[in-house]
Structure 1
Amino acid sequence: MKNYLFIFAIFIGYAYCQTDTDAKNLLTNLFTTQSYNKLVRPTRNQSEPTAIWIEFFLYGINGFDEIQQKLTTTAYLEIYWYDELLAWTPSSYGNLSDIFLPQEDIWRPDIALENGFKDLESLGSKFIHAEVEHDGLVLWKPFHVFNSRCKLDSTYFPFEKQSCDIDFVAWAFDESEVYLAVGTDGVNTEDATDSNGQWELVSSSIVSFSDEGVSQIRATLVIKRKPLFFIINIILPIVLLSILNIFTFQIPADIGERMGYTVTVWLSFAVFLTIISASLPQSSDTIPVLSIYIIIQLSIGTFSVLLSAWLSRIVGRADDIPVYLLLKKVALMKRRLQCACSNGKVDNIVKHCKIDQNGDEHFNAKNETDSTKREKSDESNIDWKEGVAALDFTCFWIFIIVLIISTLAMLMTSALQN
């Protein structure tokens, strides 16, 4: 019994043994006897189109050039089709079921990157081999660094997402000869590395379509910018400088250091914007929300310098403020506010206020006539120093509110986009 098993094992091993002679005979039969020609489309019925299946395997995102609007990715394609002229019977060649042939020796679809930056060039290299199965199935895996065009949308910088298309086309063939289809895996990102320090992949998709009778494949990559660097190095310093700028109005206008402080903060703004200019999107197609935010804060800074210069000029005047000036109305409003907040006990206000239990201000009935006269007298006796202080108080709170609203609006707009 053991002898029979031994003989059977030898027979099976011999039956499935593939020698170099089998491979040579197969290649001779395909390329010499059958005169295989790589210029002939690989179908016996030339009136039928050849189906090409494509899968996109992403290795990594190398970078995104915002000026040229160019996305650089490293990937390879799995392209497979049936070549009826490369089929054979395995039993005739020692059960040889597959062989590897240089890509230059067989017919290949002239697939090219349509939205690239360079001239059209064929995929793959001479050292790449294609695997050919006995039933004619050809598997070709060209590796490439793709430079594709991608329109930049910097509206929500640095929280934006970019949707970039990588289009492949069978350049010389129309749809009646070669049509491209999506393979089983579509876009495969399992091997993609998160090595890019600025961008990360959010999602991907792939579709096939026809454009003017030419079959195409479009792989779409949605990438998102990593915002931490820009938050720490751009947004946070701008907010802090804006706060310093607003506190200009907490320094009395009659102190000489106020103008020096105001100009120093404004120059800090200007120098900082010069430093970060290289980090901002350099595109004129869209205006980032962050740029609008910077313009608002810089406008407040410029207004603070101009206003401080004017207030420093008028604060030392000895006469009273004319009735027709808005500055006087602002000072009166501040007086009434101080009166309401201090229960009528304000040293600089002659008017007698009284707050009842419900918190409503009313005049004392006994002194109503005198209070009215004194109030009119107060309205005519507001000096420039008090008016300037009231304007500083008003500007401080207005700009604090503007800073909070503009900052929240910028962050919420970007959050909604994500």
Structure 2
Amino acid sequence: MIKNWEGVSIVFAYSHSLETSLRNEIFNGYNKDARPVQKTIVICNVKILSLKDINTRDQTMTTVAYFSFSWDDTRLSWASKPAYSSDIERIYSTETVLFTPSVVVENSINDLGVISDKTLPMRIDKSGQVTWSPGNIYETSCDIDTTLYPFDKQTCSITLTTRGYIRTEVELRLGKMPIVLTAYQENGEWDYISSSSDVSITTRDLLQYSTLTFTFTFQRRSSYHLISTIIPMFLLAFMSCYVFKLPVDAGEKLGYCLTVLLAFAVYLTLVSDNIPTTSTTISYLSVYLLLMLGMGVISVLLTIHVIDINFTSEEEEIPRCLRRITRIISKVVCWKSNGVCCKGRNSSVSVINVKSKDVRLHSKKADIDANLDDDVKEEDFSWQDIAKVLDIFLFRVYLCLVIMLSVMFISVISFGTLW
């Protein structure tokens, strides 16, 4: 190594024999089981390389990362020894030789043991500072909130705590940059949003242990789910309305209705497979699909009744209450110009042609017909007419319900509220 100081070049030569001599001197009588001081301060930060997966069903987060731990061990310092400090800046060793703080990932799923890597070199500076950077694939538990699935944000954490050493013996502290993302590689399903870190104390068996928590927030990339789930779901929802547009005589009315119902059942199964069974929250998507499935079941029952009404024998008398209900519905849906909107249109024609004698006579006749006995007017409906009126009415009701529920669902997943 060459250094320039006050214009003088000094050459420092490294030799393995010099380092061997240094190692024999500093490790003579060194006990790795003994702490360097009464209270060892361990500075920690984490470097995230990539997010492997966030499993919403198993409620886990899998990350590829490594931690960086550093602490001072004055027993290993050779700064006060000119024979070595001028030529050797640092040396390396492993945890089989050096004191290593026992730190565990407290919320780990598959490994509750102490973080360890016996083959990884630990850097020792001449001041006695030890730096250790073990890496691994860490699978940690994560509380998944599926309310806005698949447009959800998930906040997961990695928690470190000491095992064996209490807080007065080994204390974990955050470094200047607790979370390093310089080498982070973007995940195809999740987009990184933010991160934070926190220092706390964990109490176990009435003893206090030092704890660090690294928290990460990710948002799901929804393009895939939008194309493969949301848009087809909306199309199926509107298709369920058009079962009432099919003529009863076509013979495909019930088959079409059952096909749409089956499609909703399949979609509900696919969504349920991706949602945790133990979640404390309910996905709005599941609620929407369940409502559509319920409407599909009701449409099957209504279709069966409409078909039964259409093919009822003309010799069978139409019940009086059914006639009255049909007369009211026919006015609502303007069936055969019998609705309020059609009456308004006829009234406009009468006003325009108020001087026409034929129009006045026609209006007068309409007023007389309106006052006829209900039994006479109800005889105008046949069983086939009742089926057609019900189809028109149910189509409009279902179309309004689907539009209203779809708008509510979009509002909720976009803004988190109905308003």
TM-score by length of 1: 0.85
Q: CA deviation at 1:366?
A: 4.5
**Residue 248 of structure 2 is aligned to residue 256 of structure 1:** no
Letter of the structure 1 residue corresponding to residue 102 of structure 2:
D
Aligned to 2:321: 324
1:156-191 per-residue CA deviation (whole Å, 9 max, x = no partner) reads 111111111211011111111111111111111121
Alignment partner of 1:210 out of 201, 206, 226 = 201
Distance 1:287 1:41, change over 3 A: same
Distance 1:192 1:386, change over 3 A: same
For 2:251 and 2:382, how far apart are their aligned partners in 1?
A: 20
1:289-335 per-residue CA deviation (whole Å, 9 max, x = no partner) reads 11111111111111111111111111234366433233442224334
Aligned to 1:3: none
**Residue 310 of structure 2 is aligned to residue 315 of structure 1:** yes
Q: CA deviation at 1:238?
A: 1.9
Worse-matched range after superposition: 247-256 or 209-218: 247-256
The 3-state SS of whatever aligns with 1:103 is coil
Aligned to 1:21: 17
Please tell me whether the aligned partners of residues 123 and 144 of structure 1 are also in contact (alpha carbons under 8 angstroms). no
Alignment partner of 1:130 out of 117, 122, 126 = 122
The 3-state SS of whatever aligns with 2:27 is helix
Q: CA deviation at 1:27?
A: 0.9
Give me the CA root mean square deviation: 2.9
Alignment partner of 2:289 out of 294, 305, 322 = 294
Aligned to 1:143: 135
Aligned to 2:215: 220
Q: CA deviation at 1:22?
A: 2.4
Please tell me whether the aligned partners of residues 343 and 355 of structure 1 are also in contact (alpha carbons under 8 angstroms). no
Aligned to 1:304: 299
Structure 2 unaligned regions, length at least 5: 1-5, 353-359
Q: CA deviation at 1:115?
A: 1.0
The 3-state SS of whatever aligns with 1:324 is helix
1:94-141 per-residue CA deviation (whole Å, 9 max, x = no partner) reads 332221122321111101111112343232412211111111111111
Aligned to 1:185: 177
For 2:14 and 2:260, how far apart are their aligned partners in 1?
A: 82
Q: CA deviation at 1:222?
A: 1.2
Please tell me whether the aligned partners of residues 330 and 387 of structure 1 are also in contact (alpha carbons under 8 angstroms). no
Please tell me whether the aligned partners of residues 332 and 340 of structure 2 are also in contact (alpha carbons under 8 angstroms). no
The 3-state SS of whatever aligns with 1:13 is strand
Structure 1 unaligned regions, length at least 5: 1-7, 346-351
Q: Across the two proteins, how many residue pairs are aligned to each other?
A: 392
Worse-matched range after superposition: 52-61 or 115-124: 115-124
Q: CA deviation at 1:249?
A: 0.9
Distance 1:91 1:152, change over 3 A: same
Q: CA deviation at 1:68?
A: 2.7
Letter of the structure 2 residue corresponding to residue 20 of structure 1:
H
**Residue 65 of structure 2 is aligned to residue 75 of structure 1:** yes
Please tell me whether the aligned partners of residues 124 and 144 of structure 1 are also in contact (alpha carbons under 8 angstroms). no
The 3-state SS of whatever aligns with 1:163 is strand
For 1:250 and 1:181, how far apart are their aligned partners in 2?
A: 69
TM-score by length of 2: 0.84
Please tell me whether the aligned partners of residues 320 and 384 of structure 1 are also in contact (alpha carbons under 8 angstroms). no
**Residue 274 of structure 2 is aligned to residue 280 of structure 1:** yes
Letter of the structure 2 residue corresponding to residue 69 of structure 1:
Q
Letter of the structure 1 residue corresponding to residue 108 of structure 2:
G
**Residue 48 of structure 2 is aligned to residue 58 of structure 1:** yes
Distance 1:390 1:78, change over 3 A: same
Distance 1:232 1:354, change over 3 A: same
